[in-house]
Amino acid sequence: MQHMTAPELAQLMQDASQAQPLLLDVRETWEFNTCHIAGAQSIPMNAIPVRHGELDKNRPIVCICHHGARSMQVAHFLERNGFSQIINLTGGVHAWALQVDASMPTY
């Protein structure tokens, strides 16, 4: 598993020459509805064991949660299930709001 900061992810998302990762937001639905990174797909952590088959094992996946702990657990789960391009967003959406998008609500 790799780790990426919010500014690094923002830079990657702006680079059209780079393969764009799936932004997998594993927070609860109410959290996702409160704020999320544009383009993120919501699959709550508790649904990952049932729904991970929906994800492309050949595409880079950035796991996102509030601060980075839940997403790290999901990242480990995905790696154990054959995913090889897994990145955990250090600091989660909270770091994104503080370091990249000051207009994003925090909670």
What is the CATH number for 35? 3.40.250.10
Q: Which of 6, 23, 63, 65 is catalytic?
A: 65
Alpha-helix runs per DSSP H in 1-107: 6-14, 29-34, 48-51, 69-80, 92-99
Active site residue 65: yes
Structure-token pair, residue 73: 């657990």
Q: What is the pTM of this model?
A: 0.96
CA dist., res. 47 & res. 95, Å (int): 24
- pLDDT at 36 (0 to 100): 98
CA dist 33 → 12, 19, 27, 28, 86 (Å):
24, 27, 10, 9, 24
Map residue 52 onto helix, strand or coil.
helix
Give the mean pLDDT of 15-27.
Answer: 96
Q: How many domains does the chain have?
A: 1
Q: Is residue 59 part of a domain?
A: yes
Whether 23 is covered by a domain: the verdict is yes
The predicted pLDDT at position 63 comes to 98
Q: Summarize pLDDT for 32-77 with one digit per residue, the tens.
A: 999 999 999 999 999 999 999 999 999 999 999 999 999 999 999 9
Residue 76 belongs to domain spanning: 2-11+18-99
pLDDT of residue 45: 98
In a domain, 105, yes or no: no
The answer to whether residue 107 is domain-embedded is no
For residue 21, what are its two tokens?
């990762």
